[in-house]
Amino acid sequence: MIATFAGAEETGAQVAQATESEVTEPIAELTEEVVPVFVSEEVIQELPEEATQEFTGNLPQADSLRDLVAAMPATGELSDEMRCLAGAVYFESRGEPLAGQLAVAQVVINRSESSRFPESYCGVVYQRAQFSFVRGGSMPRIKTGSDAWKRATAIARIAHQGLWDSEAQDSLYFHATYVKPRWASRMTRRAAIKTHIFYR
């Protein structure tokens, strides 16, 4: 099964489409609107131990996702795995509400835990023809001093640590609300968050 994700950065417009045998269109050149493409194939790739060691102290707690994001420490360098997860959130959903950003992170995590996809966050993000913002095996430059990146890293840590339940639950795919992909009718809908619908 092939799933295609399309995302716009600040607008938050994204699309995920799946067909059973082909990618419907070639990936366009990278512009401000990026179009990630998901392809399912078996890859054996273990999650490095460093990705599981992001926190050494007490985990923050809060009554809302917004408060939890604000409480997350922004110290030290991210591991490669966490940078991949945060990068997917940043490029795919930084214009979405926090719940939508968390849902995108959850999709990456769910894929890393599924036997149908690579077994690490970077494996999911860098898998061939997955996210079109990944070019030549690397991501575009990230404005690491921006509030959007700070939120993306906080969301990635929250999702990785399981500190807040995502409405996306066990979703592996999503698409924008303004399209009706053929594959959606064969999936189980998990959530609709602003401009995206998430499916298992």
Q: Where are the alpha helices (DSSP H) in the chain?
A: 65-71, 80-93, 98-113, 121-126, 147-161
Helix (H) or strand (E) segment spanning residue 39: strand 37-39
Q: How confident is the model at residue 57, as a pLDDT?
A: 54
Query: Sign (positive/negative) of CA torsion 120, 93, 96, 77?
Result: positive
Q: How confident is the model at residue 40, as a pLDDT?
A: 45
Instruction: Report if pTM > 0.75.
Output: no
Q: How confident is the model at residue 51, as a pLDDT?
A: 44
Instruction: List domains and CATH numbers for the chain.
Output: 2-199 (1.10.10.2520)
Q: How confident is the model at residue 176, as a pLDDT?
A: 77
Return d(Cα 175, Cα 55) in angstroms, integer: 32
Return d(Cα 27, Cα 18) in angstroms, integer: 14
Which parts of the chain have pLDDT scores under 50?
1-53, 55-56
Return d(Cα 165, Cα 38) in angstroms, integer: 24
Q: How confident is the model at residue 151, as a pLDDT?
A: 96
Concatenated DSSP letters of 141-175: P--TTSHHHHHHHHHHHHHHHT-S--TTTT--EEE
Q: How confident is the model at residue 58, as a pLDDT?
A: 66
Q: How confident is the model at residue 196, as a pLDDT?
A: 85
The tens digit of pLDDT for each residue in 20-50 reads 333 334 434 444 444 444 444 444 444 444 4
Return d(Cα 30, Cα 14) in angstroms, integer: 15
| Helix 98-113 with 147-161: angle, nearest 10 deg | 50
Return d(Cα 85, Cα 102) in angstroms, integer: 11
The tens digit of pLDDT for each residue in 126-142 reads 988 777 778 888 899 99
